[in-house]
Amino acid sequence: MTIVEQLADYAAGLRYEDLPPEVVRQAKRLIADSIGCALGGHASEPATIAQDMAATVTSTRPATVMVTGRRTSPDLAAFANGVMIRFLDFNDGYTSTGESGHPSDSIAAALAAAEIAGRSGKDLIAATVLAYEVFCRICDAADLKPLGWDHVTVGGIASAAAAAKLLGLEGRRLAEALNLAIAPNIALYQTRIGHVSMWKGCAYANASRNALFAALLAERGMTGPAPIFEGVGGYFKAVTRAPFALEALGGRGHPYKIMECSIKRFPLGQYSQTVVEAALEARARAGPDAAIEEVRIETCSTAVRLMAGDPDKWEPETRETADHSMPYTVAVALIHGEVADHHFGNEYLRDPDIRALARRVKVAATAEADSRMPEAMLCRLALLTKRGESIPATVEYHRGHWKNPMSDGEVEAKFRRLAATVLPSSSADRLLETLWHLESEDNAGALIGLAVAGAPTGR
């Protein structure tokens, strides 16, 4: 089979009833975490722009924008909700020897498709597991960043698979949804390097918008170019520049990739999670008033390249650059004892103390850390004080890493912190109760209604 035929066959055959209990539980945790991130990111400038765009359109088959409750076209609802999910850089992630990224971004497409198709909570869970499986398996097979392509090029494929499944597409039409999503939607890696713009938090949301649009076209009988991977002008020729084969997909004795995705403890790039945790551990040992001479960080090459590999990461001018800046986030952690959303505002970006300490951060890649990838993002940090002390800290798996997972209580606490900007505690309670028992919901679209400011608080 072609890659598209393999993916379409897998998508059509994946059933909630075949999912192990731990996979269902993980899917619910990640859906809850993503909706919490959306509630926390709803008031950002990119999210406001996306909401305003959504408000310009009406539809005979509408979907709902979280927080505002606006009804718009399904693709623009997916875009607006996707920007909210992604803005804080707080939603979960996947790391691989190939590509890495945030499969939870595909949940925006799944939510909109489930709503307009009247699908159940079980259907949404299965589609979410599908999106993660497609995203992570393709990431394992191809490393796109060195070739100039962004990981959302993979994300659009995952979103299309989930949307098509929820729309009830099968066989040729499901395959056409993938063809239509892939051919016109190849994204540049420049999105995440240099002077990082608002688009960093919008790129995957746009991929999900286009993926849902592709699935809706396929639903109506539109056909797309094929074979989209193997063809003379296809994905292998233009994007990966070499063919790949997908490993066995989850199920029938094979693990599901959703189990290897990590929840973030801090609202910043996933390759700096262990680094910031190590900085906080060293700070606790040194004391908050320690005079710091230098900070030495040893971690993997990928982390250094992505989080400290260009001049803008050392002098960040935008929030989007700062949350992907290892020296900046380490300096914030050491000075303030935490890294939270408000630490990326202009007051902190322009803080001379943070800037000065960031310049005293030294970063190096080590063979030891590289050998542990992608299973661990090992960080060894040493805090050198002006009294001549060297205070070490080592973190292999940050809290929330799939090998050091957060408890359900910690996931819920993170959700509540983020939701508090929008929902009273009683509404957050009702939304969480629905999320934890999602498999019992006949209408998954009800989730969005519960994530609207002023939503009812009782059943």
Answer yes or no: is 18 within a domain. Answer: yes
> Given 375, 395, 415, which residue is the final one in a domain?
395
> Given 260, 281, 315, which residue is the final one in a domain?
260
Answer yes or no: is 288 within a domain. Answer: yes
253 & 288 share domain: no
252 & 276 share domain: no
Answer yes or no: is 405 within a domain. Answer: no
CATH of the domain at 70: 1.10.4100.10
197 & 328 share domain: no
Answer yes or no: is 320 within a domain. Answer: yes
Answer yes or no: is 195 within a domain. Answer: yes
CATH of the domain at 384: 3.30.1330.120
245 & 327 share domain: no
156 & 283 share domain: no
Read off the pLDDT of residues 63-88 as tens digits, 9 standing for 90 and up: 999 999 999 999 999 999 999 999 99
Answer yes or no: is 406 within a domain. Answer: no
129 & 218 share domain: yes
241 & 171 share domain: yes
Task: State pTM to two decimals.
Answer: 0.96
> Given 260, 287, 307, which residue is the final one in a domain?
260
Answer yes or no: is 410 within a domain. Answer: no
Query: Are 82 and 405 in contact, with CB atoms under 8 Å apart?
Result: no
206 & 327 share domain: no
Structural domain boundaries, residue 352: 270-395
How many domains, the chain?
A: 2
Answer yes or no: is 408 within a domain. Answer: no
305 & 383 share domain: yes
256 & 351 share domain: no
Split the chain (459 residues) into runs of 10 and give each run's mean pLDDT: 96 97 98 98 97 97 97 98 97 94 98 98 98 97 95 98 98 98 97 92 98 98 98 97 93 95 97 97 94 97 94 94 96 97 96 97 97 94 96 97 97 97 95 97 94 71
205 & 275 share domain: no
Read off the pLDDT of residues 219-247 as tens digits, 9 standing for 90 and up: 999 999 999 999 999 999 999 999 999 98
254 & 132 share domain: yes
